[in-house]
Amino acid sequence: MSIITLSPIVIQAFDEAKDAFGTLSDLKSAVNNVEAGQHPDLHEHGDWSSIVTKYNNAAATINGAPVVDNFDSGPYTISADELANCANLNNNVAKLNAYKQALIDAVDGGNNGLEVIQGQIDIINQTRDALTYLIGVFADAATNPLLTPYNDIFVLDWDELQSDVNHALETYASAVNSQKAQLTTVIANINTQIGNLAANINTIIGLCGG
């Protein structure tokens, strides 16, 4: 089976990063409630070191995992003598068309991988929005009467959010974008093969008067 896709450990890294996003999203919702005049239970300093670790670990995993490229062209090999023998035209064309279809299927698998990556990029963008919001709110905690009761917590959180967490998120985003670039390149190369193969099939048919 010919496979062009993401490594399973990359998918696992994506799942780990989702946990970090969930924590930030939950905090954003709680702060939204504070600003709306509600009183959620915000009495503990956030465990941001855990989120930083998750993002950094996920980034390291992704950076160490190349795109899975298990395409096997062996079953579609045709010798020069076979190609030159027009008596084998039908068999040769059938094998080359099967090769072309296998390449098309491989591209489909790669495109599915790109959809998964795009889903992760969407989550990263949502996380950036939440982080930017939280950093801004926490910076104003001392002057916002609704936030003043939580100021001691927010001052500590603001420092970690705007430095450690923000940096870890961008490190993770860079790794995800690198994985996208790798997969995009593999897909582009295969699409070039598909175009060349289609042209070669037509040439072979023409040379044999088919």
Pairwise pLDDT comparison (165 vs 162), residue with the higher score: 165
In this prediction, residue 191 carries a pLDDT of 95
pLDDT band at 162 (very low <50, low <70, confident <90, very high): confident
* Tens-place pLDDT, residues 97-106: 999 999 999 9
Q: Give burial (CB, 10 Å; 0-12/13-18/19+) of 203.
A: exposed
Please state, for a pLDDT cut of 70, what percent of the chain lies above it: 90
What's the whole-number mean pLDDT along residues 153-168? 79
Pairwise pLDDT comparison (155 vs 54), residue with the higher score: 54
Written in H, E and C, the secondary structure of the chain is: CCCEECCHHHHHHHHHHHHHHHHHHHHHHHHHHHHCCCCCCCCCCCCHHHHHHHHHHHHHHHHCCCCEECCCCHHHCCCHHHHHCHHHHHHHHHHHHHHHHHHHHHHHHHHHHHHHHHHHHHHHHHHHHHHHHHHHHHHCHHHCCCCHHHHHHHHHHHHHHHHHHHHHHHHHHHHHHHHHHHHHHHHHHHHHHHHHHHHHHHHHHHHCCC
Q: Evaluate whether 12 touches 117 at the Cβ level (below 8 Å).
A: no
Is pLDDT of 34 > 80? no
Return the biggest CA–CA distance within the chain: 88
Pairwise pLDDT comparison (4 vs 168), residue with the higher score: 168
pLDDT band at 156 (very low <50, low <70, confident <90, very high): low
Domains of the chain, residue spans: 4-207
Which of 55, 60, 78, 45 is closest to 9 using CA atoms? 60
d(CA 200, CA 206): 10
Is pLDDT of 197 > 90? yes
